Amino acid sequence: MDPVGVAAAPDAGPGPAWQSKCPWGAPKTASISCSLADVMSEQLAKELQLEEENAAFPEVVAVAEGPFITGENADTSSDLMLAQMLQMEFDREYDAQLRREEKKFNGDSKVSISFENYRKVHPFDSDSSEDEVDWQDTRHDPYRADKPTVTPRKGFIGKGKDITTKHDEVVCGRKNTARMENFAPEFQVGDGIGMDLKLSNQVFNALKQHAYSEERRSARLHEKKEHSTAEKAVDPKTRLLLYKMVSNGTLETITGCISTGKESVVFHAYGGKSATEDDKVIPPECAIKVFKTTLNEFKNRDKYIKDDYRFKDRFSKLNPRKIIRMWAEKEMHNLTRMQNAGIPCPQVVILKKHILVMSFIGQDQVPAPKLKDVKLNSEDMKKAYYQVLNMMQRLYKECNLVHADLSEYNMLWHDGKVWLIDVSQSVEPTHPHGLEFLFRDCRNVSQFFQKGGVAEALNERELFNAVSGLNITAENEVDFLAEIEALEKMNEDHVQNHGKKVSTFSSDGDPPIYNE
């Protein structure tokens, strides 16, 4: 056994003899005061590793799991936010500097070198660029090249010595260039498409390969983000927007989640002290409805917005992110109409992108119960029925709206009355399916109150006529619905022929407004 090894153990007095002979002098770490047992301990090794990891990745782990911005953990949360904001700012500045350098480097030269690969923000990561530059918005697509000449099936064009086959280098090269169009829109192909550029098959195939792998990479990144939205309630971008609302005094604290639905997440918050941009006082308690940026859920709602003439012109040109913002915008407009008509509903506080802040229906963080969850005595039940009937009529007549998702799930019982919520999908009665939506609403309401023991409750067909002022006489549901669809079709034809919608459906007079 080597005696030096034993002597090197701590508490062995002055350094061993070999140290003085060592040409590099005594190692500094020789005086570590821990026993051999400590050094051998697995526990210590683990602790050291943890320490090291924490130093290398501070807080990163906490980001993913981190709870929401609340009073108790405001410190860590806001530090984190600040760090994220700073990093974002830093990356953007870095890229801006890079662009300046790139410009300087290239000058007026016809051939330019791209610094794109050195950018911090991967083009598919950059949300901001997605917001500002919306390729779908451009009416004229500058990247659209003329169609390549098609080679007929016989495989050649021309005659005699002017014959060109599909294997012709020039034709092939041009075709390849034009095919770059099919790459993902974010893929940078320069202005090659516009020029008379001839790409060899080899170059084209290499580019194609790269374009596809970039597309897959982008899809993966996107999926990751989407998942975080679904799992952790909000994505980093939403967090930042919410954080800004807290830091600028619109909100005091965001206390927690009230509801996670398929299409939205609702949070409770205490209102801040500063007034909104348009000088409205912020209610003491607020509900924040965050429209989910997960697109799948919205696909089947297309029909509500696509056919809504108010949004018609805008729909086709929008990217999915903007469509989601439009749902939030729609809910805001509809709530404002209802507010103006005096229908009990949340009051709009502020709209920021896909986040709608409104007054909270409930008290001390406890949301008012839905009609389906509350046990009303027969007197209150009857009162609620007449109120709902009255609200449906005013919604139709004064707000020119059909709720389109009205049921005991979207009516809250608070302060001895019914409040209507969830109106992002509400449409005007002249919407191509507006009357069908109204009929569905009527069926839900009628069934709920009839089952709830309200003897006076009209059946769905009577309710439909009472709300719309129409006088459809069909005795059964099938015929009734057929008449509704015929009316809708008539209206659509009118729109087609006259280029504008009719203001209301002709009726035999205004519906009688019911008051309790």
Active site residue 125: no
Cα dihedral across residues 315, 317, 323, 325: positive or negative: negative
Assess 410 for contact with Mn ion (CB under 5 A): yes
User: Among Mn ion, ligand ADP, none, what does residue 27 contact (CB within 5–8 Å per kind)?
Assistant: none
Assess 266 for contact with ligand ADP (CB under 6 A): yes
Site for Mn ion in 411-470 (CB under 5 A): 422
Residue 57 CB, nearest distance to Mn ion (Å)? 40
Residue recorded with tokens 């005595």: 377
Residue 361 CB, nearest distance to ligand ADP (Å)? 4
Assess 511 for contact with ligand ADP (CB under 6 A): no
User: Among ligand ADP, Mn ion, none, what does residue 358 contact (CB within 5–8 Å per kind)?
Assistant: ligand ADP
- The 306-345 site mask, x for binding ligand ADP (CB under 6 A), equals ----------------------------------------
Binding residues for ligand ADP, total number by CB under 6 A: 18
User: Among Mn ion, ligand ADP, none, what does residue 16 contact (CB within 5–8 Å per kind)?
Assistant: none
Residue 270 CB, nearest distance to ligand ADP (Å)? 13
Closest CA to 404 of 378, 422, 381: 422
Assess 263 for contact with ligand ADP (CB under 6 A): yes
Sheet of 355-359: strands edge to edge?
A: 251-260, 264-271, 285-291, 355-359, 348-352
Q: Residue 19's CB: how many other CB atoms inside 10 A?
A: 16
CA–CA distances in Å: residue 504 to residues 392, 487, 488, 515: 16, 11, 11, 23
Assess 256 for contact with ligand ADP (CB under 6 A): no
Cα dihedral across residues 41, 45, 51, 54: positive or negative: negative
Give 285 or 460: the residue with its C-beta nearer to ligand ADP.
285
Residues ≥6 apart with Cβ < 8 Å to 109: none
Give 178 or 371: the residue with its C-beta nearer to ligand ADP.
371
Contact status, residue 163 vs residue 156, Cβ threshold 8 Å? yes
Closest CA to 409 of 374, 459, 384, 458: 374
| CA gap 17, 322 in Å, rounded | 76
| CA gap 484, 504 in Å, rounded | 14
- Of the candidate spans 35-43, 184-192, 262-270, 405-413, the one that interacts with Mn ion by CB under 5 A turns out to be 405-413
Site for ligand ADP in 403-432 (CB under 6 A): 410, 421-422
| CA gap 26, 298 in Å, rounded | 70
User: Among Mn ion, ligand ADP, none, what does residue 406 contact (CB within 5–8 Å per kind)?
Assistant: none
Bridge partners, 285 (sequence order): 270
Among 258, 341, 374, 495, binds ligand ADP (CB under 6 A): 258
Assess 471 for contact with ligand ADP (CB under 6 A): no
Assess 355 for contact with ligand ADP (CB under 6 A): no
Among 239, 289, 325, 443, binds ligand ADP (CB under 6 A): 289
Give 174 or 440: the residue with its C-beta nearer to Mn ion.
440
- Of the candidate spans 86-94, 119-127, 332-340, 358-366, the one that interacts with ligand ADP by CB under 6 A turns out to be 358-366
Give 69 or 357: the residue with its C-beta nearer to ligand ADP.
357
In 3-state terms the chain splits into helix, strand, coil percentages (rounded to 5) of: 50, 10, 40
Residue 422 CB, nearest distance to ligand ADP (Å)? 3
Phi, psi of 79 (to 5 degrees): -60, -45
Residue 442 CB, nearest distance to ligand ADP (Å)? 19
CB closest to ligand ADP, residue no:
261
Rounded to 5°, the CA angle 244-247-248 comes to 85
Please give the radius of gyration of the chain, using alpha carbons only, rounded to the nearest integer.
33
Residues ≥6 apart with Cβ < 8 Å to 148: 171, 174, 175, 178, 179
- What tokens appear for 500 in the block? 């504008």
Pick the catalytic residue from 95, 235, 308, 405: 405
Residue recorded with tokens 């407004």: 513
Bridge partners, 358 (sequence order): 287, 348
Among 173, 272, 346, 432, binds ligand ADP (CB under 6 A): 346
CB-count exposure of residue 177 (10 Å: 0-12, 13-18, 19+): buried
- What tokens appear for 321 in the block? 């992110």
Residue 446 CB, nearest distance to ligand ADP (Å)? 21
User: Among ligand ADP, Mn ion, none, what does residue 346 contact (CB within 5–8 Å per kind)?
Assistant: ligand ADP
Assess 77 for contact with Mn ion (CB under 5 A): no
Assess 264 for contact with Mn ion (CB under 5 A): no
Bridge partners, 253 (sequence order): 270
Interacting residue ranges for ligand ADP, rule: CB under 6 A: 258-259, 261, 263-264, 266, 287, 289, 346, 358, 360-362, 367, 370, 410, 421-422
Interacting residue ranges for Mn ion, rule: CB under 5 A: 410, 422
Positions annotated as catalytic residues are: 405
